[in-house]
Amino acid sequence: MKAAVIEKQGALENLVYRDWPDPEPGPDDIVVRVAACGLNHLDIFVRRGMPGLPVSVPFISGGDIAGTVHKVGDRVDSVQLGDRVLLNPSSEEGMLGETLPGGMAELVRSPASHAIPIPPGLDFDIAACLPVAYGTAWQMLRERTTIEKDETVLVLGASGGVGTACIQIAKNLGARVIACTSSEEKGRKLEALGADDVINTSQTDFSREAWTLSGKKGVDVVVNFTGGDTWVPSLKTLRKRGRLLTCGATAGFDPPTDLRYIWVRELSILGSDGWTTAGIRELLDEVAAGRITPIIDRVLPLAEARFGEKLLEDRAVFGKVILRP
């Protein structure tokens, strides 16, 4: 088969489209013919290497995988050949695309128990947007906290995969949403997506602007997966007893903090990691019912995986990039 292979950890040129041996299923596994694989910032981190995330190279990343069942293991009776499935990439064995070979390939092996049927009429590209980005946003806003109607939720990095998912989910929960993004063009798209207010972080101090927008009371919830120099301003943006949700640190995982805001305002810092099969099933239902519309920036052939990752690195994406083998 063909795959986009990380030959060694580092820059984009280490991602090479080439031949790779076909995977075979173990007794409880399936092999899926990949129809669509969604890119995530995680794929950048896996390629570049992160402290605590050693990857044995060569390796195939890609965790958001939709396709058809191509082979089944001897003990598998939960799915049939030809079934249309979306994979929950995270299993007891590890994570597809992070510790186990992922979906930036024509074929991928997965435990059969992690195959979720795709509802009729819902296409592979849309399904492949869901597990990592939408699953994480779903867990943050529905499991790690409860968003009350009319609460104000501020989302940083709002134009990306997790960001656009958070905007849609928070709006559906009845929140007033402030979207923070780095360009005017992405800001206009976020307004069209339903954001009530947009702050251009390349021109404005988002904390000061959000404070004003909140009538100088502070916002109820900040979603921050950026870290770095956005961390302390996020604390300053919150009202007394506000909640800060964090699931990542695109701009740096060890920022300085300011403890005074945490104790004086009695803030809650809520970490969130990953998603559940139940959450992915609920998201498929939400999409099939038209309540959530995953945002696809563009669909690229798998052979152009390197270009897709460059777009993410350059912050030139609105929503998701999908790769098709």
Ligand X SMILES: NC(=O)c1ccc[n+]([C@@H]2O[C@H](COP(=O)([O-])OP(=O)(O)OC[C@H]3O[C@@H](n4cnc5c(N)ncnc54)[C@H](OP(=O)(O)O)[C@@H]3O)[C@@H](O)[C@H]2O)c1
Q: Do residues 130 and 283 touch, judged by C-beta distance below 8 A?
A: yes
User: In the complex with ligand X, which residue's Cβ is closer, 76 or 317?
Assistant: 317
Query: Footprint of ligand X on residues 241-260 (CB under 6 A)?
Result: 247-251
Least Å from the CB of residue 72 to ligand X:
29
Give the count of alpha carbons within 13 A of 248, CB side only.
Answer: 21
Q: With binding defined as CB under 6 A, does residue 46 bind ligand X?
A: no
Say how far residue 112 (Cα) sits from the centre of its chain: 23
DSSP state of 23: P
Least Å from the CB of residue 41 to ligand X:
3
Stretch that binds ligand X, among 5-13, 38-46, 141-149, 255-263 (CB under 6 A): 38-46
Q: With binding defined as CB under 6 A, does residue 273 bind ligand X?
A: yes
Q: With binding defined as CB under 6 A, does residue 42 bind ligand X?
A: yes
Q: Do residues 91 and 110 touch, judged by C-beta distance below 8 A?
A: yes
- What is the Cα–Cα distance from 325 to 322, expressed in whole angstroms? 10
User: In the complex with ligand X, which residue's Cβ is closer, 50 or 57?
Assistant: 50
**Among 310, 314, 304, 308, residue whose Cα is nearest residue 11:** 310
Query: Footprint of ligand X on residues 70-109 (CB under 6 A)?
Result: none
Among 4, 23, 34, 41, the residue binding ligand X under the rule CB under 6 A is 41
**Among 122, 112, 17, 38, residue whose Cα is nearest residue 70:** 112
Among 61, 110, 136, 214, the residue binding ligand X under the rule CB under 6 A is 136
How does strand 64-72 pair with strand 84-87? antiparallel
Q: Which residues bind ligand X (CB under 6 A)?
A: 40-42, 45, 132-133, 136, 157-163, 181-182, 186, 201, 225-226, 247-251, 273-274, 312, 315, 317
